[in-house]
Amino acid sequence: MALVEIEVNGKNMSSEVEERQLLVHFLRDDLNLTGTHVGCDTSQCGACVIHLNGNAVKSCSMLTVQANNASITTIEGLADGDKLHPVQEAFRENHGLQCGFCTPGMIMAAVDIIKRKPNLNEKIVREELEGNLCRCTGYQNIVKSILAAANKV
Amino acid sequence: MYQFSYLKAQSISEAVTALSSNPESKIIAGGMTLIPTMKQRLASPEQLIDIRHLEELKHIKIESNNILIGSISSHFEVSTSDIVNEHMPSLAKLAEGIGDPHVRYMGTIGGAISNNDPTADYPAACLGLGATISTSKREVKAEDFFLNLFETSLEEDEIVTQISFPVIKNSCYMKFPNPASRYAMAGVFVSKSDTEIRVAVTGAGEAGVFRWKEMEDALSKDWSVTTAESVKLSSEGVMSDIHGNSDYRANLVNVMAIRAVEKLINEH
C-alpha cells in the first residue's frame, strides 16, 4: 500500500491505496465520484477523462500513485454550486447527449479543447474529439454543443 | 492488473540503481503503452520506477543547431513548444498527430522511442533527421538504437535521458494513420540537409522503422516529385495484417513519400 495526497475538486485528501489501483477506481470506488465512467478496457473511449493539474487525461490509464500531490477535477467539480459550467449548460441546451454514458468524458475533454484552441471550428472539434467515443449521437449535437460553449466561455 | 511495487525515483541514478537491482522492474513515465499493456496482463513487472517528475529530464532547448528534448517531455509539450515550432515545425506536427489529446498530455518522447513500436511516429523522426539518443550511460546514433520490433539497443539498466535532433528545416513527415488507433499504417519522414537526404519509414517494416536507401539515393541524384514517383518500395519485408496487406502498405509508403517530397518542393 502507498500513501497518496491528492486534491480532488478543491478538497485535499490523503489515502492509503494499492499501488496497482487505477486513478479511475480511486475516484469511483474510494471517493464515490461515479460521474467518471469506465467505458472500455483498452484506453480508447475517453469516458474516464478528468483534469490532472488542468490537463484532460484518461484516469483509466494512470495509477493513483502517479497522481500523488496532483490536483484533480472531475465532472462533479465543474459546476459552481447549482450553476452549471457553460459547457454543461451548452450540452443541455443543444441536446449533446442521448444515453449520457460518454458525456462526463466529453465535457471534460471539451473544457480542455476550448481552453487550448481559441479559434474553434467544426473540423477542429471533430479532430480534437479523437480520444472520446460516443455510440449514440453520431457526434452531431456534441460538436454543436462544444461550438456553442466556445462562443460563451 | 497484477500486483507490483512502486518507486518514485528522486534522481536518474536512483532509477538506474533500482532498475539494475531488479531485472523484473520497468521504468514508467507517461505510461500510455505500459499501463494498458499491464491492464491486459500482457506485462507484469514486479516494480515500476516512476521518472515522470524528474526535472532534469524535462526540457526543450536549442544548442548549436540541435534541438535537445528531455526524455520525459510529453507529446503535447513538443507539439506546442515555441522552439520546436519555430525551428523544426515538421517535428511539432509529428507530435501533434500522435494518439489523441489525452494521450499527448501523458505520453513522452523517451517512452515512445524506448518502446520502439513498429507503428510509432517518433522513430521515423529520429532516423529521418539523424538524431542522437542520450541515455544514462552513453550517446547512441538513431541508426544503432532501433534494432527490431519493440527492440532497441538499450541495456537492461539503461534509461533514455535526451534526444538531440539536428535542425533540418527542409523536413516533412507524412503519415497515413489507422483511422481507429491513429498509429501509422505508413509514415514517411523526409529530410534534406546541405549534406544528405534521408527517408525514414515507420508503420510498414516487419522489423520496425527503417531508412529507405533506394529512395534516398534516387532523390540525392535528382530531387523531384517525378523521381519520388519512379521508385517503388518492394512489398518484401513489409508488414501484412488485418488493416492492410504488404502490397497495400508498400504502396501507401510510396504515396506518403511522394506527398512529403511534393510538400517540401512546393514550400522551399
> What is the number of other CB atoms lying within 10 angstroms of the CB of residue B47?
17
pLDDT over 90 at B180, yes or no: no
Cell, residue A153: 466561455
B17: Cβ–Cβ under 8 A, 6 or more apart, which residues?
none
- Indicate whether B236 pLDDT > 90: yes
Q: B216: closest CA among B192, B236, B235? A: B192
- Predicted local distance difference test score (pLDDT) of residue B168: 97
Comparing alpha-carbon positions, the chain A residue that sits nearest to B3 is: A20
DSSP string, A47-88: TTEEEETTEEEEGGGSBGGGGTT-EEE-GGGTSBTTBPPHHH
Q: What is the reported pLDDT for B261? A: 98
The answer to which of A7-21, B54-68, B89-103, B179-193 has the lowest mean pLDDT is B179-193
Task: For residue range B183-216, list pLDDT tens digits in order.
Answer: 899 999 999 999 999 999 999 999 999 999 999 9
- How far is the C-alpha of B211 from the C-alpha of B193, rounded, in Å? 16
In this prediction, residue B88 carries a pLDDT of: 97
A61 to chain B: which residues are within 8 Å by CB? Answer: 31-32, 35-36, 106
- Domains defined along chain A, listed by start: 2-77 (3.10.20.30), 86-152 (1.10.150.120)
Per-residue pLDDT tens digits for A36-75 = 999 999 999 999 999 999 999 999 999 999 999 999 999 9
Give SS3 for A13: strand
Percent of chain A residues topping a pLDDT of 90: 99
Tell me the average pLDDT of chain B.
Answer: 97
**How close does chain A come to B35, measured CA to CA in Å?**
6
SS (H, E, C) chain B: CCCCEEEECCCHHHHHHHHHHCCCEEEECCCCCHHHHHHCCCCCCCEEEECCCCHHHCCEEEECCEEEEECCCEHHHHHHCHHHHHHCHHHHHHHHCCCCHHHHHHCEHHHHHHHCCCCCCHHHHHHHHCCEEEECCCEEEHHHHEEECCEECCCCCCCEEEEEEECCCCEEEEEEECCCCCCEEEEEEEEECCCCEEEEEECCECCCCEECHHHHHHHHHCCCHHHHHHCCCCCCCECCECCECHHHHHHHHHHHHHHHHHHHHHHC
Any CB–CB contact under 8 A between B6 and chain A? yes
Is B127 within 8 Å of B209 (Cβ atoms)? yes
Cα B177 to Cα A63: distance, rounded to the nearest angstrom = 28
Mean pLDDT, residues A118-135 taken together: 96
Residues of B whose CB is below 8 A from A55: 76, 105
H or E segment at A7? Answer: strand A2-8
pLDDT at B248 over 80: yes
ipTM above 0.90, yes or no: yes
pLDDT digits (tens, 9 = 90+) for B122-139: 999 999 999 999 999 999
Question: CA–CA separation, B110 vs B29, rounded Å?
Answer: 8
Among candidates B50, B105, B182 on the partner chain, residue whose Cβ is nearest the Cβ of A66: B50
pLDDT band at A110 (very low <50, low <70, confident <90, very high): very high
CA A91 – CA A79 distance, rounded (Å): 13
Q: Return the pLDDT at A152.
A: 86
pLDDT reported for residue A153: 75
Closest residue of chain A to B8, computed from CA coordinates: A66
pLDDT at B182 over 90: no
CB A8 within 8 A of CB A74: yes
- The stretch A113-136 carries a mean pLDDT of 96
Nearest by CB: B52 against A55, A66, A116: A66
Q: Is the pLDDT of residue A126 over 80?
A: yes
pLDDT for residue A46: 98
Q: Flag if A41 and B40 touch (Cβ within 8 Å).
A: yes
Instruction: Supply the pLDDT for residue B158.
Output: 97
Beta-bridge mates of residue B132: B141, B164
Q: Count A/B contacts: CB-CB distance under 8 Å.
A: 76
In angstroms, what separates the C-alpha of B165 from chain A's closest C-alpha? 27
Could you give the CA distance from residue A124 to residue A26 in angstroms, rounded to a whole number? 33
Mean pLDDT of all residues in A122-126: 97
Query: Which of the 8 DSSP states describes residue A121?
Result: -
B84 phi and psi, to 5 degrees?
A: -65, -45
What is the overall mean pLDDT for chain A?
Answer: 97
User: How confident is the model over A134-141, as a mean pLDDT?
Assistant: 96
CB proximity under 8 Å: B 192-211 to A: none
Per residue in B79-95, pLDDT (tens digit) is 999 999 999 999 999 99
- The pLDDT of residue A143 is 98
Classify residue B224 as exposed, middle or buried by CB count within 10 Å of its CB (0-12, 13-18, 19+): middle
Q: Say if B99 is an interface residue toward chain A (CB within 8 Å).
A: yes
Domains and CATH numbers, chain B: 5-50 (3.30.43.10), 55-166 (3.30.465.10), 171-267 (3.30.390.50)
Distance from CA of B221 to the nearest CA of A (A): 39
